[in-house]
A and B are shown apart, each in its own frame.
Chain A
Amino acid sequence: MSRLSPQAPDRGLFAGIPGAPTPWTRVRNLAIGVLLVALYLWSARATDFSLGRLARGVPEMGNLLIRMLPFERVDLPGGGVAWRWSNELLRQQIAFLPSVWGPLMETLRIAIVSATLGSLLAVPVALLASRNLVRYPWLYWLARGFMNLLRTIPDLVLAAVLAGAFGVGVLPGILAVTIFSFTVVAKLLSESIEAIDPGPLEAMRAVGANRLQAIAFGVVPQVLPQYIAYVLYVFEIDVRASTVLGLVGAGGIGFTLQTSLRLLNYRAAFMIILVILAVVVLIDTISNRLRERLL
């Protein structure tokens, strides 16, 4: 415990250097560690989380999985249950696929419209929320505040509120995902703008350019590749977000999935999940390739 005694290092190596760790630094770090462990234990208790419960859930998952796959249920004479592979069920599952196309396209359209609108709306706000471009601190803080406030609202809550106003359907979904895209792109873009090389901007001021001209010639070329990358990135997230919002009634493939789960049609649900997986992987891959080439 001599290490914690609030004298020892002070007199030693770092004596007189401003910002050197004091004995209390160690005490504080230890206290933070203890606090974090206590926080975890408190949370785990309150949510009844335990490895035992996790282990008991795993067989249930297996049970669910087998009902998603083309296995026929066979009641054994002794009262037990067996599962047998069925080509007929497989054919049914494959035949179900084309009906997923319509809802899938609807989800993609929601994502495209929302990503586009949100990214466009983000531009002016991101410019106003960049400290190096805005002369008036109040304007900067207003834009920042607006951005941060919107970002605190989870997209599901947003969708629920908007559904209350516009009724269940595609429109509140689009609005929710648009607002979500806006917050993501505005935040990332304003950070990119704040990180630009200030030199060209200074040069634009020196040639007598006005504010808009200075932004167009000094800022836009510097952040355009990042901006396009953010738009692609937010589109990726939007595909997933609009799927999830479909679960709460905003149309699209999420809604179809929800319906088949409610009807306990697990084999249909499985096909929908497969399609979602394939599409998300495909879009993420394409978008990642594009972004790599941009930056």
Chain B
Amino acid sequence: MQALRSVNLTIPDGQFVVIVGLSGAGKSTLLRCINRLVEPTEGQILADGVDITRLGEGELRAWRTKVGMIFQNFNLVNRSTVLRNVLAGRLGHTSTLRSLLGLFPRSDVELALRCLERVQLRDKAFSRADQLSGGQKQRVAIARALCQEPKILLADEPVASLDPPTSHLIMQDLKRICREDGLTVLVNLHFIDLAVEYADRIIGLRAGEVVFDGPVSEVTEKTFEEIYGRSIRPDDFRGRGDR
């Protein structure tokens, strides 16, 4: 079965794009095709004129260093320190021998600490990742992605495992950092209010096909009913969770 069908999108540099759809609509697959964690069966993905579906092994790794990724389950190494987790973002830029011995250049360690500072977690550098809260873990994951010095950031349901207030904090961090660095961002979300609040542009996926693509100003409740193929329900909203 195909997860995606006749998807045709152009994303300009620096745009904050939110991809919306029910689970199973193909959001994850779309995101993972971009760094080829999933191999597309046909079609092209062009980045600066280069078809990344045709990259060889070494070229693919070089491409991946330019694409940071954030996951729903953070995907940190729980038993390692926060700093080591963030430094893992430098692996694509570090020789095998150096990285196996843990001998990252001083400039990389400085970069990693700066990235942690940007997510307000510098003082946690030597804590073990499993001692952090969910929101802190996701911020470490953001720092790891930033440490790659990427051009593109992919975020696959980055707040689905977090509570409402933390969800907003993470989205704000993401938005602020990406503005500062001029990153192009693709975020998968299924919460309507988060999508509308943070996106420049919304892409709606339903059963593997793009059913909506436009600026956030054109989006109405009706748009989401079309994307979801059903009426809107309260649990489609993350809410503020304010006390």
> Among the interface residues A202, A207, A214, A224, which one has the most CB atoms of the partner chain B within 10 A?
A207
Nearest CB of B to A5, in Å: 42
Give Cα A207–Cα B144 distance, bound, in whole angstroms: 9
Q: At the interface, yes or no: B166 with Cβ under 8 Å from chain A?
A: no
Residues of A contacting B76 in the complex (Cβ-Cβ under 8 angstroms): 200, 203
A216 touches B75 (CB 8 A): no
Would you call B64 and A212 a contact (CB within 8 A)?
Answer: no
**B185 CB-CB contact with A under 8 Å:** no
Minimum distance in angstroms from B156 CB to a CB of chain A = 10
A116 to chain B, nearest CB (A): 21
When the two chains form their complex, are residues B77 and A207 in contact, meaning their CB atoms are under 8 A apart? no
B62 contacts chain A at the CB level, 8 A cutoff: yes
- Shortest C-beta distance, A268 to chain B (Å), equals 50
**Contact size range, B:** 20 to 34
Report B79-102 residues with CB < 8 Å from chain A CB: 79-80, 84, 88-89, 91-92, 94, 96, 99-100
Interface string of A186-226 (1 = CB under 8 A from B): 00000000000101101111111110111011100110110
- The reply to whether A207 and B80 form a contact with Cβ atoms under 8 Å apart is no
Given contacts A208-B62, A208-B64, A213-B100, contact A200 B75 (CB under 8 A): yes
A217 and B77: CB pair below 8 A? yes
A203-B67 in contact (CB<8A): no
Least CB distance, A36 to chain B, in whole angstroms: 44
Q: Identify the closest chain A residue to B60 (Cβ).
A: A208
A208, B88: Cβ atoms closer than 8 Å: no
Complex Cα distance, B61 from A204, in Å, reads: 11
Nearest CB in chain A to that of B35: its residue:
A206
Chain A residues positioned under 8 Å from B16 (CB to CB): none
A218 x B77 contact (CB < 8 A): yes
Contact partners of B65 in chain A: CB under 8 A: 207-208
Which has the most chain B C-beta neighbours within 10 Å: A202, A208, A218, A222?
A: A208
Tell me the chain A residues, 209-259 only, with Cβ under 8 Å from chain B: 209-210, 212-214, 216-218, 221-222, 224-225
* Alpha-carbon gap, A217 to B69, bound state (A): 16
Q: Which of A205, A222, A224, A225 touches B64 (beta carbons < 8 Å)?
A: A205
A213 partner, pick from B80, B84, B96, B144, beta carbons under 8 A: B96
Q: Are B37 and A209 in contact (CB under 8 A)?
A: no
B191 at the interface (CB under 8 A from A): no
- Inter-chain CA distance A209–B61, complex, in Å, is 7
B96 x A207 contact (CB < 8 A): no
- Which of chain A's residues has its CB closest to B72's CB? A199
Interface residues of A: mostly helix, strand, loop or mixed?
helix
- Nearest Cβ distance between residue B42 and chain A, in whole angstroms? 22
Q: What is the minimal beta-carbon distance from B196 to any residue of chain A, in angstroms?
A: 28
- A221 touching B35, Cβ below 8 Å: no
Closest Cβ of chain B: how far from A211's Cβ, in Å?
Answer: 9
Q: What is the size, in residues, of chain A's interface with B at 8 Å between Cβ atoms?
A: 22
B71 within 8 A of A: yes
With the chains together, A225 CA to B62 CA distance in Å? 33
Residues of B close to A197: CB separation below 8 A: 78
**In the docked arrangement, what's the CA distance between A243 and B2, Å?**
60
Given contacts A208-B65, A208-B148, A217-B77, contact A202 B71 (CB under 8 A): yes
Closest residue of B by beta carbon distance from A217: B88
Please indicate the chain A residues that have their CB under 8 angstroms from the CB of B68 in the complex: 206-207
CB-CB under 8 A from A203, the residues of chain B are: 69, 71, 75-76, 88, 141, 144
Instruction: Give chain B residues whose Cβ lies under 8 Å from the Cβ of A222.
Output: 77-79
List which A85-142 residues lie within 8 A (CB) of chain B. Answer: none
Instruction: Indicate whether A212 sits within 8 Å of B89 (C-beta atoms), given known contacts A200-B76, A203-B69, A222-B79.
Output: no
Neighbour of B92 across the interface among A208, A216, A221, A225, CB < 8 A: A208
Binary flags per residue of B49-75, CB closer than 8 Å to A gives 1, else 0:
000000000000111110111010111
Cβ A209 vs Cβ B92 within 8 A: yes
Q: Please, which residues of chain A bring their CB within 8 A of the CB of B74? A: 199
Known: A204-B88, A214-B91. 14 other contacts (CB 8 A): A199-B74, A199-B75, A200-B76, A202-B37, A202-B71, A204-B91, A207-B65, A207-B68, A207-B88, A207-B148, A209-B91, A213-B96, A218-B88, A224-B79
Binding site for B on A (CB under 8 A): 197, 199-200, 202-210, 212-214, 216-218, 221-222, 224-225
List of 7 A-B pairs having minimum Cβ-Cβ separation, nearest first: A208-B92, A208-B64, A199-B75, A209-B91, A203-B75, A208-B65, A206-B69
Task: Pull 30 A–B residue pairs with CB atoms less than 8 Å apart, ordered by A.
Answer: A199-B75, A202-B71, A203-B75, A203-B141, A204-B88, A204-B91, A205-B64, A206-B37, A206-B67, A206-B68, A206-B69, A207-B65, A207-B69, A207-B89, A207-B91, A208-B61, A208-B63, A209-B61, A209-B88, A209-B91, A210-B91, A212-B96, A213-B91, A213-B99, A217-B88, A217-B99, A218-B77, A221-B77, A222-B78, A224-B79
B residues adjacent to A (C-beta < 8 A)? 35, 37, 61-65, 67-69, 71, 73-80, 84, 88-89, 91-92, 94, 96, 99-100, 141, 144-145, 148
